[in-house]
């Protein structure tokens, strides 16, 4: 058997292998044709890629990352070449240990608002496709349509994209002052002061008045239109920033699959009890709480209602949080923690061929070295191909 790491047939040995429900303290994995063909404990039948006792984890699966935008607009009003931005973003995602990512594109056009309020979803989707078709990407990329409900063209814009085979998730967002996460408009004002670099209170007053008016004009009809569109295309839906029990009832009635970043314990517990997967931020866990003053990821984990973690705005946080979760919450062992960033998110969006180290699954795997209280990704295999 070849041991070359640049082929899709090879052997890994002397690894601490994290399975979906157990750990093999010293074992090996054989890969053939990009698929996991054998898993064993103890000494490998022949020499392979020696991990010297490092962790072998399934490649991480990311459902919600806003980080592509930081590569497209690295500074305010600076627009980078979109394909170059996608390639740079892909490299950062891969070296963070993520082998499957749902690129979150904002379906959001808002006349008269800040420059970054246009998510440029069409342009970014085309850039991702062109980079993929040219063989320039290291890992698997799918699409997550983040739809801002109270905007004039969101249903028609989403309709142009949802038929793409890469679309795996649609989230229903509402960032109107007074709604959901921003029930307290002061939070939204503080958010925009930090993000937009100097908007005055007078400018924010105009923006917020416009958004409240748009909510009254568009939100109800657009919500129904987006739900109908997702159902017609059999696209899983995610609610966003559920805060009240009314939000939970709406999510349950519309059969959403994922609840992204619920802001209160009551909402999270009710969503989880209804069978909706609760997704929370990995940065929240690492920082020890929400930067917006909402419920903490660790609190939900301790209550038994955390299903999925997302790196959100820091790609490297996904691995760090999964490794720290067992230290933060007694009920999580390492396999359980790793499932929140691999198996569970993969299965929730219909990617059942990956997300765990198991026979017949895609050989999406990462080598992780832990030392000095930190962890580093040493190697990444995507479909059995060494990509980092």
Residue 98 is assigned to a structural domain of this protein: yes
Alpha carbons 282 and 300: distance in angstroms, whole number: 12
Tokens of 220: 């109800």
Tokens of 206: 């105009």
What are the beta bridge partners of residue 140? 100
| One domain for residues 170 and 42 | no
Instruction: List Cα–Cα distances, 213 to 34, 63, 279, in angstroms.
Output: 53, 31, 30
Token couple for 64? 């919600």
pLDDT at 110 exceeding the cut of 80: no
Greater model confidence, 112 or 380:
380
Give the domain CATH number at 21. 2.30.40.10
- What is the length of the chain? 388
Same domain, 85 and 146: yes
Q: Cβ(30)–Cβ(38) under 8 Å?
A: yes
Is 252 strand, coil or helix? helix
**Are residues 264 and 125 both part of a single domain?**
yes
pLDDT of residue 166: 97
Chain CA centroid to CA 178, Å: 26
Q: Look at residue 2 and tell me if it is in a domain.
A: no
Q: Domain check: are 64 and 50 in the same one? A: no
The predicted pLDDT at position 190 comes to: 67
Q: pLDDT confidence of 334, banded at 50, 70, 90? A: very high
Whether residues 104 and 173 fall in one domain? yes
Q: In the prediction, which pLDDT does 231 show?
A: 98
Q: What number is the average pLDDT over the span 77-97?
A: 95
In this prediction, residues 49-71 reach a mean pLDDT of 95
CA angle 106, 112, 116 (to 5 degrees): 35
pLDDT number for residue 378: 98
CA of residue 271 relative to chain centroid, distance: 19
What tokens appear for 159 in the block? 């309709």
CA–CA distance, 350 with 233 (Å, rounded to integer) = 14
365 part of a folded domain: no
Q: pLDDT at position 214, please?
A: 80
Is there a single domain that holds both residue 293 and residue 312? yes
Residue 61, pLDDT > 90, answer yes
Pairing mode, strands 10-18 and 23-32: antiparallel
Give this prediction's pTM. Answer: 0.91
Q: Looking at the structure, tell me whether residues 201 and 310 fall in a common domain.
A: yes
* 205, part of any domain: yes
**Percentage with pLDDT > 70 across the chain:** 90
pLDDT at 302 over 50: yes
Instruction: Write out the residue range of the structural domain in which residue 17 sits.
Output: 10-56+371-386
Q: How confident is the model at residue 3 (pLDDT cuts 50, 70, 90)?
A: very low
Residue 350 phi, psi (nearest 5) = 80, 15
The pLDDT of residue 108: 83
pLDDT digits (tens, 9 = 90+) for 259-276: 999 999 999 999 999 999
**In-domain check, residue 1:** no
State the SS3 of 76-104. CCECCCHHHHHHHHHHHHHHCCEEEEEEE
Residues 28 and 102 in one domain: no
Q: Which tokens belong to 127? A: 């850039």
Token pair 């969101």: residue: 154
The pLDDT tens digits for 174-200 are 977 756 666 666 666 666 665 555 667
pLDDT of residue 54: 98
Q: Indicate whether 377 and 228 sit together in one domain.
A: no
Number of domains in the chain: 2
Strand, coil or helix: 58: strand
106 and 78 share one domain: yes
pLDDT of residue 109: 75
CA-to-CA separations, 305 to 253, 277, 311, 330, 347, in angstroms, rounded: 20, 8, 18, 14, 17
Task: Classify residue 284: in a domain, yes or no.
Answer: yes
Confidence of residue 213 (pLDDT cuts 50, 70, 90): confident
Within a 10 A sphere around the Cβ of 214, how many other Cβ atoms? 20
| Mean pLDDT to the nearest integer, 81-92 | 97
Q: What pLDDT score does 120 carry?
A: 84
Say whether pLDDT at 113 is over 80: no
Does the pLDDT value for residue 14 go beyond 60? yes
**24 within 8 A of 41, measured Cβ to Cβ:** yes
For residue 211, what pLDDT is reported?
76
Pairwise CA distance, residues 51 & 5, whole Å? 12
Does 52 fall in a domain? yes
Per the prediction, the chain carries an average pLDDT of 91
Contact 166, 143 (CB under 8 A): yes
Return the minimum-mean-pLDDT range out of 112-116, 150-154, 216-220, 265-269: 112-116
Strand partners, 106: 146
366 inside domain: no
CATH number at residue 323: 3.20.20.140
- Region 109-118 average pLDDT: 56
CA distance 274 to 259: 11
**What is the distance between the alpha carbons of residues 158 and 170, in angstroms, rounded to a whole number?**
9
pLDDT at residue 203 in the model: 74
21 and 167 housed in the same domain? no
Which pLDDT value is given to residue 6?
Answer: 54
pLDDT at 183: 65
Sheet of 237-240: strands edge to edge? 60-65, 98-107, 140-148, 167-173, 237-240, 258-260, 277-281, 308-310
Q: Are residues 89 and 49 in the same domain?
A: no
**C-alpha to C-alpha distance for 170 and 148, rounded to whole angstroms:** 11
Beta-carbon contacts of 112 under 8 Å, excluding residues fewer than 6 positions away, are 210
pLDDT band at 119 (very low <50, low <70, confident <90, very high): low
Predicted pLDDT at 123: 93
- Closest of 375, 339, 354, 376 to residue 139, by C-alpha: 354
CA dihedral 108, 109, 111, 113 (to 10 degrees): 40
Confidence band (pLDDT; 50, 70, 90) for 118? Answer: low
């Amino acid at each position: 058997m070849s041991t070359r790491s640049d082929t899709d047939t090879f052997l890994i040995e002397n690894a601490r292998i994290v399975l979906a429900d157990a750990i093999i303290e010293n074992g090996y994995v054989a890969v053939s044709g990009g698929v996991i063909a054998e898993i064993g404990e103890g000494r490998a039948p022949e020499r392979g890629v020696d991990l010297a006792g490092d962790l072998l984890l399934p490649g991480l699966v990311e459902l919600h990352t806003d980080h592509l935008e930081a590569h497209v607009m690295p500074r305010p009003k600076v627009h980078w070449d979109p394909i170059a931005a996608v390639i740079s973003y892909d490299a950062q995602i891969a070296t963070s240990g993520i082998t499957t990512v749902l690129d979150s594109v904002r379906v959001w056009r808002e006349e008269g608002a800040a420059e970054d309020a246009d998510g440029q979803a069409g342009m970014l989707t085309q850039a991702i496709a062109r980079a993929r078709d040219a063989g320039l990407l290291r890992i698997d990329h799918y699409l997550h349509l983040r739809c801002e409900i109270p905007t004039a063209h969101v249903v028609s814009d989403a309709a142009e994209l949802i038929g793409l085979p890469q679309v795996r998730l649609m989230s229903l967002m509402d960032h109107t002052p007074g709604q959901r996460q921003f029930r307290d408009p002061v939070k939204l004002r503080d958010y925009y002061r930090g993000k937009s670099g100097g908007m005055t209170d007078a400018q924010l007053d105009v923006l917020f008045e416009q958004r409240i008016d748009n909510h009254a004009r568009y939100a109800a009809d657009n919500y129904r239109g987006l739900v109908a569109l997702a159902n017609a295309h059999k696209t899983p839906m995610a609610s966003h920033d559920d805060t009240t029990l009314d939000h939970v009832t709406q999510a349950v009635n519309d059969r959403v699959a994922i609840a992204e970043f619920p802001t209160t314990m009551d909402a999270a517990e009710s969503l989880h009890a209804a069978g909706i997967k609760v997704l929370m931020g990995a940065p929240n866990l690492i920082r020890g709480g929400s930067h917006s003053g909402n419920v903490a990821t660790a609190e939900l984990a301790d209550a038994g209602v955390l299903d999925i973690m997302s790196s959100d705005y820091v790609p490297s946080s996904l691995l760090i949080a999964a490794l720290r979760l067992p230290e933060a919450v007694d009920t999580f062992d390492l396999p359980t923690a790793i499932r929140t960033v691999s198996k569970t998110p993969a299965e929730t969006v219909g990617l059942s061929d990956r997300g765990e180290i198991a026979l017949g699954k895609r050989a999406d795997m990462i080598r992780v070295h832990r030392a000095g209280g930190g962890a580093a990704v040493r190697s990444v295999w995507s479909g059995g191909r060494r990509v980092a």
